[in-house]
Chains A and B, each alone.
Chain A
Amino acid sequence: MLPNRHVTFVARFALCLSVCALLLAGCDSPKAETVDLSTTNWQQISEAASGTTVRMAMWDGDPAINAFMRDYVRRRMQAEHGVTVEFIGGLGNSLVDRLMVELDAGRTVGDIDLMWINGETFFQLRQINALFGPFTTTLPNNKYIDWQDPFIALDFQKSVDGYECPWGNVQLALIYHSGRVSDPPQNRTELAAWVKAHPGRFTIDNSFTGMTFLKGLLYDLAGGPGAWDGDFDEARYRRESAKLWEYWRSIKPYLWREGQTYPESVAQLHQLMMNGEVDFSMSNNDGEVDNKAVQGILPDESRGYAWETGTIRNSHYLGIPVNAPNKAAAMVLANFLISPDAQLQKAKPEVWGDGSILDMDKLPAEYRKQFSQIPGRTRVASRESLGERALTEPAPEIMVRLEADFRKYMIEGN
């Protein structure tokens, strides 16, 4: 039996814990949406949003992006719309996990109003019916978006259908150290020759960017642009991916650490390049080479380019969870984020360097001029030039399979 003093301590502790739990339960819990968004116009949505707080979930691993959101977006939203913006860290799988748990638990009013998502997350969130929509046609700035552009209207070959709003458009760029690499490879044959001549100086990361690079190779092996349009074809994937793994095995001994291990993230790959351990990095954002070189995360001699056989171009989006407590404010924020002003600011290399999703032909002349004069893009070709080498994202199942097979054949099968 426990001594009495222990019993008293435990009892007091439990009492304090219970009181705290009760207090927390009563504090500022999210309230359900009070506006019926299906019958309200934009004016009413703006009024409903004014004076409220909107919580946006986003990847918060880049200080430059954080500064843009904190110093520019938050300030202007407060000044122009009376909406307080709060940011929560989270992207991709962590958001899917969170919403899955909330929906499994029957939580109809969550904590997130707007979230930054991309293709595979969109696919996963649609699988579990976690997205609110369609909502994009309600946004006034939707008129500037080119919905005829397949790189915007299709997300991983799935029609967006108004369940997510495009926010930025980027293309995978390989990044090399121009002081150490004079003639960077332009295709898989040249890459194989280069790595054999420079063992240990090339690798890919083991996450999203690396898999996107492999998708580019898969396109090349399957016949080039358009080869993966449409739904997932299991037999075709098996056939073409076998060639991919055969190719990768042929260069694997010449990769960094003999291809036995890979950087966990593209940030780690940047670090390896900065440290001088490898001569190449890559980024899903073609503007990142300038942005990261300015920040000192990549060497000043870094240069970005796309292979002549093409690299994947895709958009990233804004989605509203089905259980968002403040959908009106989420829509106001989304509308601001796709406004010409915010898109222009975001496109500046020293701010973020993110590609715009706006159709220049639909913009007023003054904005068109400003977009064409964005300074600072010096280490990578223009977006128009890169666009000539752009490949659409294949079906999301390919990403799922590539990730699993890369582990199975290239990592576990060492």
Chain B
Amino acid sequence: MDAARTPVFRRLGPVAWRGVLALFIAGPIAWAMLYALAYSLGGVGRLSSGWTTEHWRNAFVAPGIMGAFAYSVVIALIVTTLVVLITLGMLLSFPSIRHNRAFLLMVIVLMGTPSLVLAQMVGNTLGQGGWLSRLSYHAGLIETAGDFPALVNDRLHVGMTISLSLSLLPLVLLYFSQLWGALRLDRCCDLAQSLGASRLDARLRVALPMLIWRGKSMMMLLFILTIGSYEVPLLLGRQSPQMFSVATQRLASGFDLSRKPQAYVLAILYLVCTSLALMLYIRGKSADA
């Protein structure tokens, strides 16, 4: 192809690609970050009275905020661990399930269900007025709805954890199923068994370490997705402690407009933390490659 007929963007090469990246992705994020920073420092906003670090100081001592941060990390760790354990447990126990059409259909349906709908379904199943409670009532196990154990908005976060796990499970199942095929773990396990390993040993000592090693960047992604979840904790979580995103939104949309800059402080903290986690994820991906 002569130079005159080469598309202009192809001739520009990486320059064009970087320009597009800057214009449509990095640019808006950087702009939002700068705006949030300026707002949190009192530099912009209808009620701003000048540059100050007061909002940053107040954000750290506001009731429940630091607790929300720690709580979000703990919940994200629990959900990530739970989802990965369930996925690995299923795959290691029944590797052939990857080819089961009913299983794939179920995963895809679950994947296509919005997390808000999933949260409602979990609420309607596990709540004290939910159908499990009703079944228990009709079975004579409880006398009133209040006798059914609190599994939604509860102290142990059962409903929220189940809902978050269900919303992430399909993604992780599909990823690890693909990984199993890509790493040819069936052959690896067969080889190990032909060399004398038991089937359990082959799966636990050959397949499992490879899946964990290659899947660690996915685990980081799961952690990021969970820590930023909003609808499920809002519907099924408790009001104290709250997930970080719910606490941020509460500050942003509360009756007290003077606390809005504090919401921007939290948004910046969230962005910094997830950016760091994303960097780790990308580094993990590069190492995998």
Contact = CB atoms under 8 A, between A and B. Distances in A.
The judgment on whether A and B are partners is yes
B192 interface: no
B252 A408 contact: no
Contacts of B12: 7, 11
Contacts of A200: 146
B255 A399 contact: yes
A179 interface: no
Contacts of A257: 150, 153-154
Given A104-B46, A261-B239, A276-B144, A1 B129 contact: no
A407 interface: yes
A400 B11 CA distance: 59
A406 B135 CA distance: 36
Contacts of B46: 100, 103-104, 127-129
B146 A128 contact: no
Contacts of B20: 10-11, 13-14
Given A7-B13, A260-B238, A93 B254 contact: yes
A201 B240 CA distance: 21
A124 B257 contact: yes
Main secondary structure of the interface of A (DSSP, over half): helix
B255 A8 contact: no
B10 interface: yes
Contacts of B235: 264
Contacts of A403: 254-256
Interface in B153-202: 153-155
Nearest to B249: A93
B16 interface: yes
B144 to A, nearest CB: 7
Contact of B9 (A11, A103, A129, A274): A11
A276 B145 contact: yes
B contact residues, range = 35 or more
A8 B239 contact: no
B64 interface: yes
Contacts of B94: none
B213 interface: no
B41 to A, nearest CB: 15
B64 A407 contact: yes
A260 B155 contact: yes
A10 B129 contact: no
**Centre residue among B44, B150, B239, B240 by max chain A CB count within 10 A:** B239
21 contacts: A7-B10, A8-B9, A11-B12, A12-B9, A14-B24, A17-B24, A93-B254, A97-B252, A103-B46, A104-B46, A260-B155, A261-B238, A264-B234, A277-B129, A403-B254, A403-B256, A404-B254, A407-B64, A407-B240, A412-B64, A414-B240
A8 B10 contact: yes
Interface string A5-43: 011101111100100000000000000000000000000
A147 interface: no
Interface string A236-277: 000000000000000000000100111010000001101111
Contacts, number: 115
A272 B240 contact: no
A11 B146 contact: no
A96 B146 CA distance: 39
B82 to A, nearest CB: 22
A94 interface: yes
Contacts of B7: 8, 11
B89 interface: no
Interface string A389-406: 000000010011001100
B153 A7 contact: no
B127 interface: yes
B146 to A, nearest CB: 5
B25 to A, nearest CB: 11
B17 interface: yes
Contacts of B145: 275-277
Nearest to B9: A11
Nearest to A4: B10
A11 B16 contact: yes
B47 A127 contact: yes
Q: Can you list the 8 inter-chain pairs with the closest CB atoms, starting with the nearest? A: A275-B129, A11-B9, A93-B253, A412-B63, A128-B46, A14-B20, A411-B240, A276-B145
B128 interface: yes
Nearest to B129: A275
**Centre residue among B10, B234, B255, B257 by max chain A CB count within 10 A:** B255
B14 interface: yes
Contacts of A128: 46-47, 257
Contacts of A8: 7, 9-10
B17 A10 contact: yes
A286 interface: no
Contacts of B155: 260
A96 B257 contact: yes
Contacts of B17: 2, 6-7, 10-11
A206 interface: yes
